[in-house]
Copies of this chain bind each other. A is one copy, B any other.
Amino acid sequence: MGEPSELMESDVFQAYATYATVVLLKMLLMGPLTGYFRVTRKAFSNPEDARAHVGKGEENKKYLKTDPDVERVRRCHQNDLENIVPFIGIGLLYAMTGPDLSSALLHFRTFAVSRIFHSIAYLLPLPQPGRGGSWLIGMGVTISMAYRVLKTGMYL
């Protein structure tokens, strides 16, 4: 068994590792959720998928369609990609600037809660501005972390 890297001994980095893993897992699980809606709504993108789930024959062409629920999950997934990717990248650098633990936890927790709420608001759906608000909060966290990274040492 190897030794954990030194970075992992820092509380801030461990908090980053925890929250980064949680939000990435949350994002990853949108994939199976899309699959679930595709199968239950019988709305596929690929002929080979329709064939596997609905059976062969000419009539399975009608299952190559879009479905509002499937599209909703896909937009939610896409929004995750657009927002969680910058959090992961900038958050890693932020964790390496040596912030206070309390300040780092505030950033990470706010982001994780805002993104989990965002998915719930998207999928139910909740009326606006629930979803839009949580999206803006998550973006604000990422921008605040980016500010600290650039302030700690910019090398252009």
A interface, CB within 8 angstroms of B: 1-5, 7-8, 10-15, 17-21, 24-25, 27-28, 30-32, 45-46, 48-49, 51-52, 71-72, 75, 77, 81-86, 88-90, 92-93, 95-101, 125-129, 131-132, 135, 139, 142-143, 146, 149-150, 152-156
Contacts and interface: CB of A to CB of B under 8 A. Distances in A.
Given A17-B153, A18-B156, A2 B99 contact: yes
A91 to B, nearest CB: 10
A50 to B, nearest CB: 10
B25 A96 contact: no
A14 B58 CA distance: 51
Copy total for this chain? 3
Given A46-B72, A128-B52, A155-B11, A146 B21 contact: yes
B146 A5 contact: no
Contacts of A132: 49, 52
A82 to B, nearest CB: 6
Given A24-B146, A125-B48, A128-B49, A5 B96 contact: yes
A25 B143 contact: yes
A82 B82 CA distance: 11
A8 B127 contact: no
Contacts of A150: 18, 21
A7 B8 contact: no
12 contacts: A2-B98, A4-B96, A5-B13, A7-B96, A11-B155, A14-B153, A18-B155, A18-B156, A20-B89, A20-B93, A48-B126, A81-B85
